[in-house]
Amino acid sequence: MAQRVSTMDYIAEAFKWHWNLLAVGAGVVFSVLSGKPDMFIPILGAAEITYLGLLSTNPKFRRAIDARQQKDESTSLRKEQLRKIMNTLPTHDKERFEELKERCSTLNRLGKQFRGPESTEEFTFDNMHIASLDRLLWMFLKLLYSKDAIDRFLNSTDRNELLRDVRDTQGRIDELEADESKRSIVRSLTDKIDTLNARLENYDNAEGNCELIEAELDRIEQKITAICEQGLNSRDPSSLTTQVDGIAESISATTKAMQDLEVVPDLEFDDAPEFICEE
């Protein structure tokens, strides 16, 4: 929940505005140099109080402060969410993500190299291209996060043990079915088998989802690696731009596939963090 901005917060923000601080400082210096600080300081104080009162109650100013606070809170919470995800992942998955991020950063650097320090061309990885890379990295990280959760589930469940339990329970049912006095036990055992079969189906679905996620992770890695290699070898800006433009389509296809399977976690903040920064 966003913290409510108090009146004192608005006043503090109005006071900290750099032009106000400059004006106050200049006023104090002028008052001292004039030799009549006892006359000018009160005037300066009255003017400052009037300024703070007018600006801190201005609706436009308040909306700007509210928007900035919401953005700061959102950024802080998004960083916390990202930190939790990274802390959850095993070391090899963290390294896998960092390697992909470095390749994406390489693409950004290639764009600048193609442009050259004195070139007038506008070819570079502009905000749209960087946003595409950020979204791709965010999807990759969420896939790693989902895969880790599924791996934990699979590692904590013994499929062979479930099959043995089904077999043993069915054998027990076969023994008791002829005895009318054991019908309640048979019903209980039958319900147990239904539960075990549901767990087996869930386990098999999880295995299939895990294979699909791994295949998608490999596809993303290979795509980025191929674009990097093409950029390094061909030094062709237009070709590199075309390849990067295709990333958006790749992201859309990945997102659709994962949404259909409902294996990517719903996160409080699902906007991609800024992984790729201008250098």
pLDDT at 27 over 70: yes
In the chain, where the domains are located: 1-77, 89-157+206-279
Q: How far is CA 74 from CA 17, 80, 273, in A?
A: 23, 10, 11
Lowest mean pLDDT segment, chosen from 59-63, 231-235, 270-274: 231-235
What tens digit of pLDDT does each residue of 159-199 get?
Answer: 999 999 999 999 999 888 888 888 899 899 999 999 999 99
pLDDT at 123 over 50: no
Q: Determine the pLDDT at residue 255.
A: 63
pLDDT at 252 over 90: no
- Above pLDDT 90, what percent of the chain? 17
pLDDT at 126 over 60: no
Q: Determine the pLDDT at residue 199.
A: 93
Average pLDDT estimate for 58-72: 75
pTM value is: 0.63
What tens digit of pLDDT does each residue of 197-235 get?
Answer: 999 999 998 898 888 888 888 888 888 777 766 655 555
Q: Determine the pLDDT at residue 114.
A: 55
